[in-house]
Structure 1
């Protein structure tokens, strides 16, 4: 990838997603008082003073091997570190130096990648009470307040000055939104296409809660895959994070060029699947239907044709939509 990659890393709840949003100028990453809200790597294209770069918001690094999701998040962060050209280590100046900060610093040092230290939650840039972080060995901390924006311009100056040469030109990537109900295998499909586990995959329905932008190149063409949170019926959206995730998915459809609707071969086409397809069709987006878990369905040599016919009887416009039958796992 010719565009440099900058990854935000740190322990949970130090304000990485707030900082991500401040740099991007929008609520691109879900922010909550709940520690660990960001569970996948989250990409977005940023630009400052004519320099373009990909900004990555990663999940918080923890040290609890008993929690499978924590192990998966750590693996995701390690992948993000491997892809990054510059690592931005975010610490909480208000809470002070934490033992986990030293472990994160050691991980960054061992990566061999350039990195800088950001002391977040510093309301007064002239404050000096964050200098305990010097013992992390990252040099001068850059003081910022992601919540009110103080110091964010200075941080961006430091970031672009540390970047390798990159392409700040117009992004002509084809945007592909991968949509569907929870736990139909959207993240597994994207991971299979990308050839690596960029997105957390779990048996827990709704593991992906943000719309995750992931760039890739294929045969010389640039793509951005948007893996969205599963779209549930409105009555099943129980809390603010679920609501915001659903809204994000709907917006992802609006900004995509093509929508890939993933449905479960075993469960068949649900009314919610049809609503999602209609949403994409009405938005004028290209639509492809991927029938996942086809290996688990009882079938014969005519099952695929019958499946397509059944779907198209429910929505005539699906006559013009291609169906692909696959298994992301096999």
Structure 2
């Protein structure tokens, strides 16, 4: 028996409606906050003292953030506090603004982060150079002591090599830190151990600027250390370190850079740089934010290429190849566990 025309039309219209509803349902189920929905992941970074322009730690972090913007399409923001006490304000503001990931490069925010993070469970926080426990906190640690050991070994080899122009042949090197703290002394102790691994008689002069943003103070300390026969000076002092490098250039001796490749700042007077790949860590955190999966602790050392010496683009030809080969040998010994470097932050 034939179906009446009006009933056939009704049946067809009903089928179309069912298909449309199914399509809408499918479209809605694919939504959410992950990257596949087309929504940009939002990432904010709070710098440490000194802010951007330090050509070191903060700038390295910013490079990682730029990469997240360029390659992941992330929406990014950088905040530069004038003082560590502003950490609570900015951590709170950024969480309230809906950022998926809030990174602080200042370990001085440790206490306030522990208090703030539980209040914003939908925001992931990350802090560098210290461990803060929490369900939505990632702690990023670098084995700076390992890279510093290599720098100390190289410094001890070079300082007594009279074939290098303008070095005095004395077994004296030095260190300039931003503050006297476990975080800074982690670099110092590694540097000292590396130097004395080469020659136990190596003397290491130590000074602190008590600031990460005072280049003139850094230069003053450096010139004083040079007067005491130091001719390789390792600086771990943020923007203050620019003054250390300037002092080394003034007297035509060697500085050692930190955190990023600072060799270009004074070509031929920055022996090498102990690179802490903050940029790599920030980018890896950004990828985790896009995927929505985080680790509680990330540790990066020589083995993970999280710390390394620079390529010595401007000084390699000035240095005895045997010295460089020795440092490479020591690097492998650290990676293989044959040499253990003290981490004062874990004592």
Same fold at TM > 0.5: no
Greater RCO (CA < 8 Å, at least 6 residues apart)? 2
- The structure carrying a bigger helix percent of its residues is 2
Rg (Cα) greater in structure:
2
Which of the five TM-score ranges fits, normalised by the shorter chain?
under 0.3
TM-score (norm 2): 0.23
